[in-house]
Each structure stands twice: as C-alpha cells, then as structure tokens.
C-alpha cells in the first residue's frame, strides 16, 4: 500500500503536539505556547449539565445545526455584543469549535482547485483546512505591524478566488484590525463576488481602548460574510468543543450535509454547558480580562530588553506577542534549544507561514502573573545568550 499517496501528505503536521512532546521530554518547562486561558468555565456552565441530564431524550442525536435554546441565546448575543441582526437571509449553525466552522465554510463554498486568500501570518489550522479541501491558499503579507493591506489582497484575487479570511483580534500576532480596513475587505469581496470569512474567536480580548468590530454588522454584508465564533477562549471551554458560525442562509443546506457527515450533531451535552455559559454572557470573560491585561503588561515590560535583538510589533488583542528575531536562525531549532536549555516553550513562526525569517509566537493567556514572569525571564535570558 506504500505506493499510494494521499492529499494529507501536503498538509503540515500540527505544531502544538510537536512542542508538547518536547515539553514532556524536558520536565519543568514553562509553556508560552498553546493559546488557552488560565480560568475554567463559569459555574453556570456546569449547572447546564443538570438540564441535559434531566431528560433522557438528550442522549439521542440532536439537531444538526444546534439545539433551539442555544440558537436563540446566540442570536441575542450577536445582537447585543456584535451588532449582527438575524433575518431570513442569515442563519446560525452551532459547530464543534470554530475550527469546525472554518472547515464547514471552506467545503461549502469551494471545489478542488479553488483559492482562498490568507493574510500572513496565518492561523495554521486555516491553511491546513484549505489544503485538506484540495484548494490552494494564496498568501498575502500584512504590513510591518501585521495590519491588513487591502490593495495587496485585491491584487491577489483571481477567477479561482472564493474567499478572503480575516482574523481579528489576530492569532498569532495580537493585531486588531480597524473598522476601516475590514470595511475595505468587505467592499472588495462585494465587488468581486467572493466571501469574507471573519474569524472572531478572540472578540473580547482587546486592550488599550482598542475596539473589536464584526464585519457582519456592516450594512448589506448578509450575502457574503461568514462569521466564526468560539467559546473556547472567552469561557475557558477549550475541551468542550463548541463554537458557532453566522452565514448566509443560502449556504445552510451545504453546511448541514458537511456536519451530518462528519459529526451528525454538535455534542449535545456541550451545548447545554454552552447555554449556561452564554446566559452569564461576556461579563464572565471581562471579569478575567483585568488579570490578563496585567499579565500582558508584565510580558511587554519584560520583553523590552530584546528590542535590539527582536522586532516587537504592537499587540492590542488576543493574548499573543509575535517576535521577529533579527538573526538568521531556523525557528524550530531555536524553539527546541529554548526548551532544552532554558525550559521555556514558544511556537515557531514557520507554522504560521513565516518562512522568510525567524519568528516566535509567545502566548500568555494560560498563566498566572508569577508563572508568566518566570517564563518570560527565561525566554529573554535564552534569546540574549543565544543571539548574543
């Protein structure tokens, strides 16, 4: 059977398990790698499990698009938090995380050989999903502060382009896109008859007065904007695998086929937990943002001694800082050395599509202040000694 090849051979291996194995081999390593938060789900999410267990019918298959009370709660949240109003032109589909939502979107709007534009650095699972669908990611660099370059995106559109992807607040850079930039992308998509896929998993994580904007709130965006949301970050819900997408209603039948084939329905027990979390609302996440914001200040202050060794762009969203190392080094080799010799883990920029230079993603959402301070101290010391 070795003579057969698979499309999966062209798909990069997920980096998180690779770095995780390196961490396991070196006990005592502080991880500034995986993008999760330090806090658990709200108690109300656990209370939602009682509602699930109270009815034996909940052990059967649920609706492919999500349970009705959760859909209603999401609709109210979209209006109050995102300015997205639903009518018969838009629909909500609950998914097994926003990664599932992205796969749904790609499979629903493309056929093999089509193109999807990804600003770089990209989120690696997006690039992987496009390759799995036998489509081609078209990479368009952002500017020196990792902000969108609408004219470059416009120039990259071909007759095979089906969508432009934006992530704001951004993973891996922490950049937050302005309303003007997002409007320009939305206008380009309208003029060219393509979709705008907007990943908003970090919608509540903004700092320094920066405001998050949902492109689906723009007038007349209903027929082209596909919005992806997640509970994993804001509600400490990573392993529960619940997200949702807001999409033009003409795509719902296609997405139903995809979800029914892959998972039949989103995990119903997780949906009841999500219902409890969303009933609490964004106040739960915002109650923890002060701590994360203080951790962010610790990180930015501790990185200041690296200004001659690394380029550090503004990061006013999510919980990442993206470092450009001013040296000719292989990023994964540098990551391996930092883990082995300094017991601190970060993620190499190559997995985000940054192959021209050495980049590192530093994540700080998972740690308490004292732990992140020690981790950043190890990172700074390691980079100084390696680059010095």
| ∠ Cα 101 104 106 (to 5°) | 110
Whether residue 215 contacts residue 196, with contact meaning beta carbons closer than 8 Å, is answered with yes
Q: What is the pLDDT of residue 279?
A: 94
What distance in Å separates the CA atoms of residue 42 and residue 316, rounded to the nearest whole number? Answer: 25
Nearby residues of 174 by Cβ (< 8 Å), 6 or more positions away: 314, 315, 316, 317, 318, 319, 320, 321, 322
What pLDDT is stored for residue 48 in this prediction?
Answer: 85
Size of the chain in residues: 388
Cα separation of 103 and 199, whole Å? 12
Phi and psi torsions of 73, nearest 5°: -65, -40
Q: Does residue 1 have a pLDDT over 60?
A: no
pLDDT of 287 higher than 80: yes
Average pLDDT of the residues in 24-40: 92
Is residue 167's pLDDT more than 70? yes
HEC secondary structure over the chain: CCCCCCHHHHCCCCHHHHHHHHHHHCCCCEECCCCCCCCCCCHHHHHHHHHHHCCHHHHCCCCCCCCHHHHHHHHHHHHHHHCCCCCCCEEEEEECHHHHHHHHHHHHHCCCCCEEEEEECCCHHHHHHHHHCCCEEEEEECCCCCCCCHHHHHHHCCCCEEEEEEECCCCCCCCCCCHHHHHHHHHHHHHHCCEEEEECCCCCCECCCCCCCCHHHCCCCCCCEEEEEECCCCCCCHHHCCEEEEEEHHHHHHHHHHHHHHCCCCCHHHHHHHHHHHHHCCHHHHHHHHHHHHHHHHHHHHHHHHCCCEEECCCCECCEEEEEECCCCCHHHHHHHHHHHHCEECEEHHHHCCCCCEEEEEECCCCCHHHHHHHHHHHHHHHHHHHC
Higher pLDDT pick, 220 / 165 = 165
Give the distance, in angstroms, between the CA of residue 367 and the centroid of all CA atoms in the same chain: 19
Per-residue pLDDT band at 51 (split at 50, 70, 90): confident
pLDDT attached to residue 255: 97
Place of tokens 């964004």: 282
Give the position of tokens 């992140």: 372
The half-sphere exposure of 356 on its side-chain side, counting CA atoms within 13 A, is: 4
Label residue 291 exposed, middle or buried (CB < 10 Å: 0-12, 13-18, 19+). middle
Question: Residues 305-334: what's their mean pLDDT?
Answer: 94
Per-residue confidence (pLDDT) for residue 234, from 0 to 100: 95
Nearest of 317, 318, 364 to residue 344 by alpha carbon? 364
Q: What is the mean pLDDT of residues 191-204?
A: 97
pLDDT bracket for residue 187 (50, 70, 90):
very high
Chain segment 67-80, per-residue pLDDT in tens: 999 999 999 999 99
- Is the pLDDT assigned to residue 347 strictly greater than 60? yes
pLDDT recorded at residue 2: 60
52-56, 229-233, 345-349: least confident range: 52-56
Instruction: Note the pLDDT of residue 13.
Output: 83
User: Would you kindly state where each structural domain of the chain is located, as residue ranges?
Assistant: 13-35+283-387, 43-280
CATH of domain 13-35+283-387: 3.90.1150.10
Question: How many CB atoms neighbour CB 162 within 10 A?
Answer: 20
Asked whether the bond before 368 is cis by omega within 30 degrees of 0, the reply is no
Give 241's pLDDT tier (boundaries 50, 70, 90).
very high
CB 197 within 8 A of CB 102: yes
**Which residues, other chains included, contact 347 with Cβ-Cβ below 8 Å and sequence gap of 6+?**
15, 16, 19, 33, 172, 335, 360, 361, 363
Confidence band of 55 (pLDDT split at 50, 70, 90): confident
Q: How far apart are CA 251 and CA 237, in angstroms?
A: 27
Using only C-alpha atoms, the chain has a radius of gyration, in whole angstroms, of 21
Kindly report the average pLDDT of the chain as a whole number.
Answer: 94
* Fold for the domain defined by 43-280: 3.40.640
Residue-wise pLDDT tens digits, 136-150:
999 999 999 999 999
């Amino acid at each position: 059977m070795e003579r057969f090849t698979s499309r999966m051979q062209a798909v990069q291996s997920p980096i998180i398990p690779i770095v995780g194995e390196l961490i396991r081999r070196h006990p005592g390593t502080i991880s500034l790698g995986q993008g999760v938060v330090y806090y658990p789900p709200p108690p109300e999410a656990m209370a939602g499990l009682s509602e699930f267990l109270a009815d034996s019918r909940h052990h059967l298959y649920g609706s492919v698009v999500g349970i009705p009370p959760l859909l209603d709660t999401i609709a109210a949240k979209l209006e109050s938090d995102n300015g997205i109003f639903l009518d018969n032109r838009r629909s909500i589909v609950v998914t097994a995380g926003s990664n599932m939502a992205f796969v749904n979107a790609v499979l629903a709007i493309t056929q093999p050989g089509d193109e999807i534009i990804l600003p770089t650095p990209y989120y690696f699972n997006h690039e992987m999903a496009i390759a799995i669908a036998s489509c081609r990611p078209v990479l368009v660099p952002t500017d020196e502060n990792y902000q969108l370059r609408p004219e470059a995106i416009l120039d990259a559109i071909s007759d095979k382009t089906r969508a432009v992807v934006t992530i704001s607040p951004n993973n891996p850079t922490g950049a937050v896109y302005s309303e003007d930039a997002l409007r320009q992308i939305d206008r380009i998509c309208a003029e060219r008859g393509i979709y705008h896929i907007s990943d908003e998993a970090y919608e509540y994580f903004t700092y320094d007065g920066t405001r998050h904007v949902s492109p689906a709130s723009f007038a007349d965006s209903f027929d082209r904007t596909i919005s992806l949301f997640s509970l994993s970050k804001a509600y400490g819900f990573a392993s529960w695998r619940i997200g949702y997408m807001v999409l033009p209603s003409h795509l719902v039948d296609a997405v139903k086929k995809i979800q029914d084939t892959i998972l039949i329905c989103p995990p119903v027990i997780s949906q009841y937990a999500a219902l409890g979390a969303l009933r609490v609302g964004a106040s739960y996440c915002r109650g923890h943002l002060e701590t994360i914001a203080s951790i962010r200040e610790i990180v930015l202050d501790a990185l200041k001694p690296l200004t001659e060794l690394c380029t550090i762009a503004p990061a006013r969203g999510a919980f990442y800082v993206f470092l450009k190392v001013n040296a000719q080094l292989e990023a994964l080799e540098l990551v391996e050395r930092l883990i082995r010799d300094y017991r601190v883990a970060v993620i190499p920029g190559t997995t985000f599509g940054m192959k021209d230079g050495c980049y590192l993603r530093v994540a700080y959402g998972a740690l308490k202040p004292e732990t992140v301070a020690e981790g950043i101290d190890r990172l700074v010391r390691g980079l100084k000694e390696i680059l010095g």
